[in-house]
Every structure is written in C-alpha cells, then in structure tokens.
Amino acid sequence: MGIDYKTCTEEEFKNYNGAKINYSEQFFENSIQIVPQGLLFEENIFPQQIEVADDEIWSKLFFLTSTSEIPFDIFAAAFYLLSRYEEYLPHDVDEHKRFAHQQSLAVKNNFIELPLVDAWANQFKEIILQQFPSIIHQQKAFKFLSTVDIDFAYKYNGIGLKRQVLKLGKSILQLRFNDAVEQLLVMLGSKKDPYDTYDFIHKTIDNNRLLLHYFVLMKTGTTHDKNMMLHHPLMKSTIKKLTKNYSVGLHPSYYSMEDKSVMNEKLLLENFTQLNTTKTRQHFLKFTLPQTYQLLESIGFTDDYTMAYSGISGFRASTSFPFLFFDLSKNQSSTLLLHPTIVMDVTLKNSHQFTPQQAMKKIEQLINEVKKVNGTFISLWHNSSLCEDEEWKGWREVFEKLHTLASIKTQKQID
Ligand SMILES: [Zn+2]
C-alpha cells in the first residue's frame, strides 16, 4: 500500500493518536477495525472453510467476520492467497506433477484474471486515507518486465551430429521436406538458425526502452531437457552476448529438484557469465511448495519468476507485485522474492488455443488489470516461439504489440 506501519501492544495502541488499525474482536475508538477470522493465529495447516462472495466494493471476498466497513478478515484472506496455502493441502497434480490450476480457489471462483489482493489493498488504503487523510503514503507506478526462457538456444546449431542426423532423417521420413532443406541450409551456414531470434527480441526491447531478463536451461539429454550441447563454444558465446545488455538467470531443468542438479546448473551458468546468478525460473513452471523454494533459497537464489500456471493465464497468487515467499511448513518468512508472471506464449497458444489476435486481446485485458492497481506485468516468451514457422505464424506480431502497449502504459504515467 506504500504506508509504513508497526505492530504494538494494547497499551501503546490506546495511547497513540495517529492512524490505527485494530486487529481484534474488541472495539476501540478512533481506529479501523478488522475482526480476525483466526487463520493468522493458527500454527498448523489444515483445510479451511471458504465461501467466496461477490461484492460491489471488494469485487470478491471470503472470511467474512463483520458487518462494518471492512466486512472480512482482509489480512487472513490476503495471506491465504499469497502464501499459496491451498498448495500445501492434499491436491491433484497434472501430468508434470504440478498443482493443477483447476482446483485453485481463484479458478473455481472466477478471479484468476484479477490481481485481487492488489485491488483489496487499494480499497483498504482508500478507507485508511478517508479516516486519516494526513497519513504519508507513496504512489505506485505501473511496471513491465519482459522475460524470455531459453529451452533451445538453437534448433540445429550445436546440437551434435547424432541429433542432427536423427532430426534430418525424421523430417525426410515424415515428408517434411521444407524442414529438411532448412536444416541443411543452416548446417551449411547459408541460413540463419530459426531459433536465433535474439536480434529481433533485443530490437523490440530496446526500441520500447523496456527491461529484459533471460532464463537459460543448462541441461540436455533428458526427455524434457533438450538444449544444445552445453560445452559447445556457441553456447558460451551466446550466453556471453546476452549478458552484455540483459540479465541472465537460470532455468532449472525438469528433474533438477529430484536429482538436485540445480546447483551444478547454477555453477555452469556462472562459469559462462562470470557473474553471480541470483534469478531463476523453473523449466515447465514446475515447482512444489515448499521444497522447491526452500532449495532455491538455500543455494543462493534471491529472486524467482515461476509464480504462474502453465495451463491458464492470470494471477496465481492473486497479486501482480513481487512478494517474499512465506514458508508455511516452518511458519516463517524467507528472503526469496517471488515475481508473479502473468502471461506465457505457450499458455496463450496451446492451453487457451488462442489465435494471435485473441491472445493480444487477452494480454490487453490483463495489462489493464495490472495498470488499474499500478502493479508489475511480467510476460514470458521463448526465443523458439518467435521463429515464425508454421506453428508459430503471427506470434512475432503479438510479441511486438505486447511490448509497444507495455511501453505506452509505462510512459503514460511519466508524462
Ligand atoms: Zn522452459
């Protein structure tokens, strides 16, 4: 909310003359009361009785506790959503052992496309300012961050002779002669590799004066991790090139939690960049609470960008703002900052099955939601989905339009 606060004892509370929030069942004069629902005093994790109601002022709410101005326990409800409480309870997983989005409170109650906690915070701030107009508060500004995951640095270059032969054979057997010709031309050096879209990405970012973070998969040779040969000189020179002007983080591999290879992947990336790697996003957005975040934090990551669903766009934690991971299993906050990601190329195309035009419409709608609360909009693209092949035709334009729109929204508040 941009307002400083501190907690205090009952005695201090009674003697204080400034803006006060009373988080108890007891009534006190000259303060804003929020009646606790109980969640924040519990020490264990167990299923909560939740009924989500529609509301004109608060949009959606639950944990109703009062009939006053703030009719629900806004602290407990926000905590429930931000801590991802429901992901600690027994739940269904999808084919990649990820929490299945269909069962989430936000999806079931139709608020996955709303940064609900941010909207609550704004409404709450308004109530505080009405009662205590002289209070000092900071205005927030809309921010945008473009992120690109590199699962395949190149389609053909540096993948090794065996994979190249297999790829070529497959194209011929499946009568995809255009692909076979394309591969041969790339191998002969007379055509640019189709996944080499870096110049296009950088031009789009720089023209719009925006920020870009890359996340690189430092693994190859498993069913779900098929980057180029990691020790190929081209891999090293590509990463070095990206590091010059943009931030480069790790994209921990599919099995990195099970086989604990994430540390080795981090070290390898650091060896290439000669920089400390502190930013990360899980490949396949695959994470389990709290284990994944515990491990990432323990080996020195400070910022994670995985908070998103692969199967649906929107706000997994009901916020667009970065927030610290709270480990419910230990009942304590951590130092790992989670940056919610709002849209991903693959989600728009494969899960929603949108055309490029429909995708742009959805992006616009979600950007507007973030703009309303002056939050941060993070998009996720892949260098490989900007290749303009048959499958991804028209999606370069979506990427360009998204960045132009983000740039306009960012600049509007400066003028
Ligand atoms: Zn990936």
Query: For 42-69, what is each residue's pLDDT tens digit?
Result: 999 999 999 999 999 999 999 999 888 8
Q: What is the extent of the structural domain holding 172?
A: 157-192
User: Tens digits of per-residue pLDDT, 179-195?
Assistant: 999 999 999 999 999 99
Q: How far is the CA of 254 from the centre of ligand 1 (A)?
A: 8
- The answer to whether 305 and 149 have CB atoms below 8 angstroms apart is no
Q: In terms of Cα–Cα distance, which of 213, 246, 168, 225 is closest to 339? A: 213
User: How many other C-beta atoms can be found within 10 angstroms of the C-beta atom of residue 236?
Assistant: 14
Residue 109 CB burial class (10 angstroms; 0-12, 13-18, ≥19): middle
Residue 382: which residues within 8 A CB-CB, separation 6 or more? 148, 149, 150, 151, 345, 346
The answer as to whether 329 is a domain residue is: yes
DSSP 214: E
- Of the pLDDT bands very low, low, confident and very high (cuts 50, 70, 90), residue 25 is very high
Distance 291 CA to ligand 1 centre (A): 19
Residue 217 lies in a domain: yes
Q: Which H helix or E strand runs over 126? A: helix 116-131
Q: Could you tell me if 296 and 254 lie in one domain?
A: yes
Supply the pLDDT for residue 403: 98
Q: Are residues 351 and 404 in the same domain?
A: yes
Task: Check whether residue 328 and residue 219 sit in a common domain.
Answer: yes
Strand partners, 333: 326
Q: From ligand 1's centre to the CA of 281, what distance in Å?
A: 8
Kindly calculate the radius of gyration of the chain based on its CA atoms and give it in whole angstroms.
24
Domain count, the chain: 2
Residue 251 CA to ligand 1 center (angstroms) comes to 7
Q: What secondary structure does DSSP assign to 312-376, as a single string?
A: S-S-TTS-SS-EEEEETTTTEEEEEEE----EEHHIIIIIS---HHHHHHHHHHHHHHHHHTT-E
Query: Do 175 and 321 share a domain, yes or no?
Result: no
**What distance in Å separates the CA atoms of residue 312 and residue 352, rounded to the nearest whole number?**
7
- Whole-number percent of the chain with pLDDT over 70: 99
Whether 150 maps to a domain, the answer reads: yes
How confident is residue 136, by pLDDT bands cut at 50, 70 and 90?
confident
Q: pLDDT at position 139, please?
A: 86
Find the CATH number of the domain harbouring 233.
3.20.20.370
- What is the average pLDDT across 264-274? 96
Query: Residue range 236-240: average pLDDT?
Result: 96
Tell me the average pLDDT across 290-317: 97
pTM score over 0.75: yes
Number of H helices, E strands in the chain: 13, 13
b/e 273-288 (16+ beta carbons within 10 angstroms → b) = beeebebbbbbbbbbb
C-alpha 341 – ligand 1 centre gap (Å)? 14
The values of phi and psi at residue 246, to 5°, are: -135, 165
pLDDT at res. 156: 94
**Rounded mean pLDDT, 257-271:** 93
> Does residue 286 contact residue 309 with C-beta atoms inside 8 Å?
no
Mean pLDDT score of the chain, rounded to an integer?
94
Gap from CA of 17 to ligand 1 centroid (Å): 53
Which of these, 67, 89, 87, 85, lies nearest to 76 by C-alpha position?
85
Question: How far, in Å, CA of 322 to CA of 304, rounded?
Answer: 9
Phi first, then psi: give them for residue 338, nearest 5 degrees. -100, 130
Angle at the Cα of 48 from the Cα atoms of 46 and 50, rounded to 5 degrees? 165
Residue 74: count of CB within 10 angstroms of its CB: 23
In sequence order, what are the beta bridge partners of 54?
A: 60
Residue 415 has a pLDDT of 45
- 377 with 406, same domain? yes
pLDDT for 2 equals 78
Is 262 domain-assigned? yes
In a domain, 373, yes or no: yes
User: What is the reported pLDDT for 311?
Assistant: 97
Asked whether residue 289 falls in the same domain as residue 250, the answer is: yes
- Residue 394 reports pLDDT greater than 90: yes
Q: Is residue 25 part of a domain?
A: no
In a shared domain, residues 355 and 385 = yes
Tokens of 54: 């529609």
Does 411 or 103 have the greater pLDDT score? 103
State in Å: Cα 99 to ligand 1 middle.
17
Percent of the chain with pLDDT over 90: 87
Gap from CA of 12 to ligand 1 centroid (Å): 51
Which residues neighbour ligand 1 (ion) by CB within 5 Å?
Answer: 149, 151, 283
- 209 and 312 assigned to the same domain: yes
| pLDDT for residue 414 is more than 80 | no
pLDDT in tens, 209-226: 999 999 999 999 899 999
With 60 as the cut, is the pLDDT of residue 303 above it?
yes
Is residue 88 in some structural domain?
no
Residue-level pLDDT at 109: 98
Residue 409 phi/psi, 5° resolution? -65, -35
* Domain assignment of residue 112, yes or no: no
Spacing, Cα 103 to ligand 1 middle (Å): 24
Distance 284 CA to ligand 1 centre (A): 5
Residue 126's alpha-carbon distances to 32, 77, 275, in angstroms, are: 12, 18, 43
Q: Check residue 134 and give its pLDDT.
A: 84
Could you tell me the distance, in angstroms and rounded to a whole number, from the CA of residue 150 to the centre of ligand 1? 7
Statement: residue 17 has pLDDT above 70: yes
Question: Measured in angstroms, how far is the CA atom of residue 287 from the centroid of ligand 1?
Answer: 12
Q: Residue ranges of the alpha helices (H) in 64-115?
A: 74-82, 105-108
Position 413 scores a pLDDT of: 62
Kindly state the average pLDDT of the residues 3-29: 91
Ligand 1 centre to CA of 406 (Å) is 23
User: For the ranges 52-61, 157-166, 242-251, which has the lowest average pLDDT?
Assistant: 157-166
Mean pLDDT for 360-377 is: 97
Q: What pLDDT, on the 0 to 100 scale, is given for residue 184?
A: 93
